[in-house]
Amino acid sequence: MCHHGSPCAHRRRLLASLPAAALLAGLGLSPARADAPKVELPAPGPRDTCPVCGMFVAQYPEWVATILWDDGIAVQFDGAKDFFKYLDNLDKYAPDAPPRRSREWG
């Protein structure tokens, strides 16, 4: 039994944290790696508008989201919210578009 206070408390905390670290390692969890290839998407032009809300996309460079379809058509959005709205309802936002497959998005 320890009667010294702080050093023993520190040791107990260290020993208590070891099983958690071992558990994470056993689950194969490790820090995420950013080794995916870089996606090159076209920058929005000054007159490009979001197909969902009509806002000028280039005014929000930090929030731009883009779908690059396999036929080379790029659709850009002023934010992720409208990006997902569009993907969730293609019948509404792109009713005349031919069937496409997305090549890249980001």
Give the interface with Zn ion as residue ranges (CB under 5 A).
Answer: 50, 52-53, 55, 78, 82
Report, in Å, the least distance between residue 85 CB and Zn ion. 8
Which residue's CB is nearer to Zn ion, number 8 or number 80? 80
Q: How far is CA 20 from the centre of its chain?
A: 28
Pseudo-torsion of CA 59, 61, 63, 65, nearest 10°?
100
The conformational region for residue 28 under phi > 0 = left, psi -120 to 50 = alpha, else beta, is left
Report, in Å, the least distance between residue 49 CB and Zn ion. 8
Report, in Å, the least distance between residue 51 CB and Zn ion. 8
Which residue's CB is nearer to Zn ion, number 23 or number 84? 84
Q: 16: which 2 tokens?
A: 């208590």
